[in-house]
Amino acid sequence: MRIIYILLIPALMLLMVSSGCREDEASPFYEPSPALPVHFPSLPVPNAKPLTKARVKLGKKLFFDPILSRDSSISCASCHLPQKAFADPRQFSLGVDGQMGKRNAPALFNLAYGLSFFRDGATPTLERQVLFPIEDPSEMHNTLPVVIERLRSHPTYPGLFQQAFGTQPTVDGLTDAIAAFERTLLSYQSPYDRFLAGDSSSLDAAQQRGMQLFFGEKAECFHCHGGFNFTDEMFHNNGLYEQYADPGRWRITGKASDMGKFKTPSLRNIAYTAPYMHDGSLSSLEEVVEHYSSGGKAHPNKSVLIRRFILSEQEKQDLIAFLHALSDETFIHNPAFRPE
Ligand code: HEC
Ligand code: HEC
């Protein structure tokens, strides 16, 4: 046994040295850089879905490539714009043939920590989520056999799938690669994060007052938008309507108590992602604060935390100033999240 090890170790070392110039082999796994701050949990990555550089690279190419849509006109990034924290500034996104969707496209970041995806939590994994936009008639309106056929007859994709998965293009490879890229979309460098790391000058006086309001028992925001990612990952009715055109979580569970409940969105990068709410019905953070302080509309499922409270003009501005402190400019401008 021992002898085998003794022989193996120099052989392995030789292998590592000889491939040293090829980045993918020398450090095959994606690492957040700079490292995640201590107030972030370590990055959850499923064992069977390692974040290799080859997978992330392939996933990024696919994310920005209109090849996935039926008429090759739109990519994931047509509705998830990198400079908008991967949200869509339009109230409703347009799919192929100008088809209009029914929900506002959410921002995409820190998805590796997500417990469910879509505003009603329709899918439990990032991998499964990928299939929906590809097949949705109001989005890419394509079929998987067509997509896989296109990728297999493409000049570069077969090689990239080979590097990433050791196979030709497959549906599993496609969804694993895009999910891998999505897990690298990490946002953790806002002024608020620098504040938590000890730099008290990164929030000005208004933002610090706004932070007290946000985490206080008058505005109650933190009960739902709490934790390192400003979301409890749960579903709530926040009193937008008396009658909901979009039933939200009810669509998944069929329970009357879930009518009008939607997943709590993270508030990181919120200044970049207007319009707001599942239907993009509120166009500014001022309108959002007005909504909450008014106590919202009467609905049997409205959370008890949504009730009228009075804020002075100054307090409203402070609260909004704090929300701006959650903007992560490095995330918005990160070249790693732009097409090559
Ligand atoms: C035509 C516009 C459009 C396209 C194209 C599109 N999306 Fe989306 N995306 C949306 C909308 C709208 C939602 C919200 C739908 C819902 O909640 O029911 C969404 C939701 C998501 C979510 C869930 C986020 C969360 O926080 O729950 C992910 C992840 C996502 N899209 C990734 C992708 C990927 C990957 C692609 C490409 C394969 C893609 N999208 C293509 C519009 C689009
Ligand atoms: C009872 C839980 C709850 C409380 C308390 C709460 N929110 Fe929300 N918030 C939600 C849910 C759920 C949504 C998504 C609603 C939808 O999609 O229609 C949301 C959406 C938002 C949005 C829009 C996010 C987006 O991406 O569209 C903002 C901004 C926001 N809340 C800010 C606040 C602020 C500020 C407070 C405190 C004044 C607050 N929230 C209190 C649950 C809550």
Residue 41 lies in a domain: yes
The answer to whether residues 100 and 116 touch, using CB atoms and an 8 Å cutoff, is no
Q: Quick one: which ligand is closest to 216's CA?
A: 2
Q: Is 310 found in the same domain as 217? A: yes
Which residue's entry shows tokens 């739109």? 74
Sign of the four-CA dihedral 101, 103, 108, 114 = negative
User: Residues 153-210: pLDDT tens digits?
Assistant: 999 999 999 999 999 999 999 999 999 999 999 999 999 999 999 999 999 999 999 9
Distance 94 CA to ligand 1 centre (A): 12
pTM: 0.93
Answer yes or no: do 154 and 249 share one domain.
no
Write out the residue range of the structural domain in which residue 52 sits. Answer: 26-187
Say whether pLDDT at 3 is over 80.
no
Question: Are 38 and 169 in a shared domain?
Answer: yes
Res 27: pLDDT: 56
Residue 17 has pLDDT above 70, yes or no: no
Q: What is the count of structural domains for the chain?
A: 2
Name the closest ligand to CA 103.
Answer: 1
Instruction: Note whether 164 and 202 are same-domain residues.
Output: no
Question: How does residue 7 score in pLDDT terms, banded at 50, 70 and 90?
Answer: very low
> By mean pLDDT, which of 3-7, 128-132, 194-198, 225-229 is the weakest?
3-7
Helices marked H in the chain: 2-18, 23-26, 53-63, 76-79, 126-129, 131-135, 144-152, 157-165, 171-183, 191-196, 205-214, 221-224, 250-253, 285-294, 313-324, 329-333
Ligand 2: list residues with CB < 6 Å. 119, 219-221, 223-225, 236, 238, 240, 262, 264-265, 267, 270, 273, 276-278, 288, 292, 303, 305-306
- Give the integer Cα–Cα distance in Å for 28 and 23: 7
Residues 57, 79, single domain; the answer is: yes
Residue 172 and residue 30 share a domain: yes
Which residue did the predictor score with more confidence, 20 or 303? Answer: 303
